[in-house]
């Protein structure tokens, strides 16, 4: 038998797949298990081609700095904070994917917690800050 | 194991001449193992007749509730073993984020909705919260996981040691949010692991394809989706179940025939008809 994802994670993917906001979905280990089409444009990759991406790999796909252009260490990125502290985390950052222009983005990450306090992973939403 | 359908109707008990052939009782399925262990899947109105069929030498029954919508628990208060001091009744079912199984059941099994309070029952009553991963009940290994249906709802996979597997997903909408179904791999499809390669799958088939369009998100499947799910999970035998109360026997004959013509499944399909016994 294959291992079916928890229903909350399945529904989170289905919701993300029908939204126009860029959304990333990670499991409890930080593996990027899904990103939607709007997020593909940010990551410059297609989920259909990459499938799941290990935490240590996808976190290198883009550079993040704080608003003073100081690099944000991996463990202080919103998704890692949501995973490690199991609480919502939001911050405004500068983000660069590959050699593209830097973008001013707000990133909000929140943990997915099921009934019985079952920890399921986290979801992250990107929101471009209006200039 | 022997699987008997005691109630196959969804949503509301539907007695009457137009439903006499398929049956009007709501969800209830009896499963009896080779060593005599007795499981009851859901406690719809069909459970009253099931109780009358329990052999005199049986003193324990495990009731596996998929969820607590009324059509799946309405018969519980009329399950005769609950009132027998020589009987042990184990109820397995989902709690919610804020209430345990017993507290949730008490909302029904207490006045004014029901005259008898849960604490007044004579049997030895034991509650088990699900999803519980894998549990052993007699000769059965029972797996429960949450599936796509409004509110906490599980499906069950019941495997008999050295025997067959029955999967029970009476209220299930695995196609929710997908444009075509099945679209995603099994790992991303609700209930797929439970149903995978089952000898018998009892699955929600409440709507016709055209009806589903108007009921998307209600937690149920069309017959076409059910047949596609059976193919996708490679089951050997499918029983479409949880018939809509608005569907007469003639409607179900016609809908099933049309869906089978379209899908042409490569496995056996038997419409859920009350009183049917299937041996695995």
Question: CA-to-CA distance for B85 and B124, rounded, in angstroms?
Answer: 7
Query: What pLDDT was estimated at residue A36?
Result: 94
Supply B100's token pair. Answer: 């345990």
Over residues B258-265, the mean pLDDT reads 96
Query: What pLDDT was estimated at residue A127?
Result: 94
Interface probe, candidates B177, B185, B189, B219, chain A, greatest A C-beta count within 10 A:
B177
Query: What pLDDT was estimated at residue B195?
Result: 98
Q: What is the ipTM of this complex?
A: 0.77
**Strand, helix or coil for residue A83:** helix
Q: What is the H or E stretch that residue A112 is in?
A: strand A103-113
Over residues B57-65, the mean pLDDT reads 97
Over residues A48-77, the mean pLDDT reads 92
Question: CA-to-CA distance for B111 and B100, rounded, in angstroms?
Answer: 19
The per-residue pLDDT for range A104-122, each reduced to its tens digit, is 999 999 999 998 889 999 9
If you count residue pairs, one on A and one on B, with CB atoms under 8 Å apart, how many are there? Answer: 53
Tell if the CB–CB gap between A11 and B97 is shorter than 8 Å: no
Identify which of B152, B176, B187 has the shortest CB distance to residue A3: B187
Tell if the CB–CB gap between B188 and A11 is shorter than 8 Å: no
Is the minimum CB–CB distance between A118 and chain B shorter than 8 Å?
no
**Strand, helix or coil for residue A123:** strand
Closest Cα in chain B, distance from residue A122 (Å)? 16
Tell if the CB–CB gap between A2 and B192 is shorter than 8 Å: yes
The per-residue pLDDT for range A5-62, each reduced to its tens digit, is 999 999 999 899 888 999 999 999 999 999 999 999 888 899 989 999 999 999 888 8
**pTM (two decimals):** 0.90
Interface probe, candidates A6, A8, A14, chain B, greatest B C-beta count within 10 A:
A14
Residues on chain A touching B148 (C-beta within 8 angstroms): 7, 10-11
Is the minimum CB–CB distance between A7 and chain B shorter than 8 Å?
yes
Taking each helix axis as running N to C, give the angle between helix B223-232 and helix B249-263, from 0 to 180 degrees, rounded to the nearest 10. Answer: 40
Tell if the CB–CB gap between A11 and B176 is shorter than 8 Å: yes
Closest Cα in chain A, distance from residue B4 (Å)? 26
3-state secondary structure chain B: CEEEEEECECCCCCCCHHHCCCCCCECEEEEECCCCCEEEECCCCCHHHHHHCCCCCCCEEEEECCCCCHHHHCCHHHCHHHHCCCCEEEEEEECCCCCCHHHHHHCCCCCCCCCCCHHHCCCEEEEEEECCEEEEECCEEEEEEECCCCCCCEEEEEEECCCCEEEEECCCCCCCCCCCCCCCCHHHCCCHHHHCCCCEEEEECCECHHHHHCCCCCCCCEHHHHHHHHHHCCCCEEEEECECCCCCHHHHHHHHHHHHHHHCCCCEECCCCCCCEEEC
- The residue of chain A nearest to residue B233, with distances taken between CA atoms, is A1
Among the listed ranges A96-100, B103-107, B268-272, which one has the minimum average pLDDT value? A96-100
- Contact B22/B256 with Cβ under 8 angstroms? no
Q: How sure is the predictor about A131, in pLDDT bands with cuts at 50, 70 and 90?
A: low
Bond into B100 cis (ω within 30): no
**Strand, helix or coil for residue A89:** strand
Question: CA-to-CA distance for A102 and A93, rounded, in angstroms?
Answer: 10
For B49, other C-beta atoms within 10 Å of its C-beta total 17
Bond into A26 cis (ω within 30): no
Supply B208's token pair. Answer: 């016709």
């Amino acid at each position: 038998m294959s291992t079916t994802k928890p229903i909350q994670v399945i529904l989170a993917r289905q919701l993300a797949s029908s939204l126009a906001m860029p959304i990333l979905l990670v499991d409890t280990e930080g593996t990027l298990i899904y990103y939607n089409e709007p997020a593909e444009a940010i990551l410059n990759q297609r989920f259909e081609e990459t499938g799941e991406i290990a935490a240590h790999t996808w976190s290198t796909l883009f550079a993040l700095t704080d608003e003073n252009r100081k690099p944000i260490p991996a463990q202080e990125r919103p998704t890692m904070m949501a995973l490690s502290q199991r609480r919502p985390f939001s911050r405004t950052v500068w983000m660069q994917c590959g050699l593209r222009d830097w973008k001013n983005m707000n990133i909000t990450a929140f943990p997915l917690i099921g009934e019985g306090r079952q920890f399921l992973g986290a979801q992250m939403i990107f929101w471009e800050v209006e200039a | 194991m022997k699987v008997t359908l005691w109630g196959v109707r969804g949503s509301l008990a539907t007695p009457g001449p137009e439903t006499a052939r398929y049956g009007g009782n709501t969800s209830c399925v009896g499963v009896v193992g080779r060593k005599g262990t007795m499981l009851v899947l859901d406690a719809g109105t069909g459970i009253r007749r099931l109780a009358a069929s329990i052999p005199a030498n049986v003193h324990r029954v495990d009731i596996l509730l998929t969820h607590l919508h009324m059509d799946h628990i309405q018969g519980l208060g009329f399950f005769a073993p609950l009132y027998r001091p020589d009987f042990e009744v184990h109820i397995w079912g989902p709690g919610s984020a804020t209430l345990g199984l017993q507290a949730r059941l008490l909302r029904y099994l207490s006045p004014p909705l029901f005259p008898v309070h849960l604490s007044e029952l004579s049997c030895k009553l034991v509650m088990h919260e699900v999803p519980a991963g894998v549990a052993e009940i007699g000769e059965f290994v029972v797996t429960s996981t949450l599936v796509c249906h409004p509110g906490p709802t599980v499906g069950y996979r019941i495997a008999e040691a050295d025997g067959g597997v029955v999967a029970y997903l009476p209220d299930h909408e695995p196609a929710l949010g997908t444009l075509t179904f099945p679209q995603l791999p099994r790992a991303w499809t609700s209930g797929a692991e439970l149903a995978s390669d089952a000898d018998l799958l009892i699955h929600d088939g409440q709507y016709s394809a055209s009806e589903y369009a108007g009921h998307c998100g209600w937690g149920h499947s069309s017959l076409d989706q059910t047949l596609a799910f059976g193919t996708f999970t490679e089951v050997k035998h499918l029983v479409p179940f949880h018939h809509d109360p608005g569907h007469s026997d003639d409607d179900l004959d016609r809908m099933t025939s049309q869906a089978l013509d379209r899908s042409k499944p490569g496995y056996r399909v038997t419409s859920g008809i009350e009183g049917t016994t299937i041996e695995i």
